[in-house]
Structures are given as C-alpha cells and as structure tokens.
C-alpha cells in the first residue's frame, strides 16, 4: 500500500514538564528535538505498518530541514516537495499527566503551490491531507490539486481537521476547501467537529482521546495503556485507520501515547 500525505514538515521541540508551569517561576523539564508536522507524523506511522510512505511538503534549505530529511529517511519515509525559505517549528509542552499544549510556527509550509506538485508524487492508494493545509493559500489550492491527481490513480482521500482554534479563525476558508477536496474520510476530535459543523464525506471519524474513537456514530473504546505523552496520538490514529481501519487505529494510538514524541 502506498500512503501519501500532504501538509507540514516541521521540527518538534518537545518539552516534558516535571511540574505544571507557574507564572514567574522555573520548572524542571526534559527537552527533545524530533521531526514533526501532521503530514510527516502520519507518513511515519504508516511506514511502521509496512506502507510505502511519502510526504509532500515544502522543504527548507536550512540545518533543521537537513535533520528532518535524515530522520524521515531513517523511518522509511520519502520526502517530496519544493524548496522553501524556513523550516517551521512546533513547541509542545507536555504536563506531568501527559496532556500537551502546542505553539506552532509553520515557517514556509503554507507556501506550497498547486503548480509545484509533480504527478508521480501523487501515485498512491491513499492521500491524507492535513487540515492546516486547507486554511490558507496557496497550500489549499495545492491540496485540491493533489486530491484530484490522487483520485485519478484510484486513491481514497482523507482529511484531518487538525485544530479547533484554527477552525474558529479560518473556518470559512477551510469549509470551502473541503468542498473542493471532497474527502472520503474526515477525522477530528470532538471540539474540531463542533467547530467545523457539517462536512460532506463518506466516513466520519471522531477522535475521543482516552475514550477511543467513533466511526459514523459507532463507538470503539481505547486500548488500556499507561499514558506518557499524547503528542501525535491523533496522527498515529489516522495512520492506523488509513492502513488497517479501526482496530489498527486504536492500536497505533496506544503505541504513540506510551512513549515520548509524535513519531515512531
């Protein structure tokens, strides 16, 4: 199975806190650097299940981008896309209970243009589009063309809603882009679905965190696991669902939260 993803290729700075932050005070933390971005995360998890994985994203000409390409290659993920000016960075603060809060700088990721896509990049069985890619131009136009090229090869198209706060700000742009992309599957957590409203798709997946997930209204409980870090759990779930449906989605999400970081 060939899984192609489109969206962001970012550097994750993961700050795992020993105690909750207090204004004006100091907190002990363990900080790690890792490749990230929703599209890259989904591709990496898909590769762990034997898929041929490819991420289409802007690649910068900086040291961070060199690190990202090297790390993704080690995870058997091909990186395709034009060159850009600056690699984006996401700072993920993980509290002692494993919940995370993120601050995102997308760098040059939103600059991907439709005319920069190469047809062979979209030869795949499944195309997964990050919802962040549907909130701004020109990358929203690139996502639309990517969906058209992938469907011409018989691929199914999925979209992750990504962020309820971004939907609140850019919801109208995203709704219009979703109408053009026409995804077969849309995934999102409860707040994201509440923010976006009705979306036309064949399959609606609601990510419910520790309560598992719901597929077209049918609930499936999460697997029991000790939670270490929830960063990237939704991306792992999406990868599992794309490759093997609900059971693999739950298994992959459980693997993700039991370790630090968004990637395998």
Q: Give the tens place of pLDDT for each residue, 149-179.
A: 999 999 999 999 999 999 999 999 999 999 9
Element (H, E) at 105: strand 100-107
Number of Cβ within 10 Å of residue 208's Cβ equals: 15
Residues lower than pLDDT 70 in the chain: none
Q: Which residues pair with 52 in a beta bridge?
A: 2
Confidence at residue 256, expressed as pLDDT on a 0 to 100 scale: 96
Instruction: Kindly state the tokens that stand for 252.
Output: 């992959």
175, 200 Cβ separation under 8 angstroms: no
Q: Which of 114, 165, 103, 101 is nearest to 6 (CA)?
A: 114
SS (H, E, C) 46-72: HHHCCCEEEEECCEECCHHHHHHHHHH
**β-strand partners of 80:** 56
Strands 126-130 and 156-160: parallel
Domains, the chain, with CATH or none: 2-9+36-86+107-257 (3.40.1190.20)
Is residue 187 within 8 A of residue 207, CB to CB? The reply is: yes
What's the whole-model pTM score?
Answer: 0.91
Looking at residue 14, its pLDDT comes to 85
Instruction: For residue 163, give the DSSP letter.
Output: -
């Amino acid at each position: 199975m060939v899984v192609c993803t489109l969206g962001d290729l970012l550097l994750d700075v993961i700050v795992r806190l020993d105690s909750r932050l207090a204004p004006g005070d100091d907190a002990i933390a363990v900080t790690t650097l890792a490749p990230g971005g929703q599209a890259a995360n989904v591709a990496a998890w898909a590769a762990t299940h034997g898929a041929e994985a490819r991420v289409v994203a802007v690649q910068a000409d900086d040291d961070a981008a060199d690190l990202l390409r090297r790390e993704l290659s080690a995870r058997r993920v091909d990186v395709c896309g034009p060159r850009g000016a600056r690699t984006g960075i996401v700072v993920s603060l993980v509290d002692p209970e494993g919940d995370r809060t993120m601050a995102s700088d997308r760098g040059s990721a939103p600059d991907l243009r439709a005319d920069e896509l190469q047809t062979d990049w979209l030869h795949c069985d499944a195309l997964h589009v990050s919802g962040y890619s549907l909130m701004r131009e020109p990358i929203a136009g690139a996502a639309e063309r990517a969906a058209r090229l992938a469907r011409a090869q018989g691929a199914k198209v999925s979209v992750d809603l990504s962020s309820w706060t971004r939907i609140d700000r850019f919801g109208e742009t995203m709704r219009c882009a979703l109408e053009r992309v026409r995804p077969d599957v849309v995934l999102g957590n409860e707040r994201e679905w509440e923010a976006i409203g009705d979306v036309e798709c064949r399959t609606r997946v609601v990510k419910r965190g520790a309560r598992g997930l719901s597929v077209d209204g049918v609930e499936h409980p999460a697997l029991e696991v000790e939670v270490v870090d929830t960063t990237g759990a939704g991306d792992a779930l999406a990868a599992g669902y794309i490759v093997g449906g609900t059971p693999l989605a739950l298994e992959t999400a459980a693997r993700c939260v039991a370790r630090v970081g968004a990637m395998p």
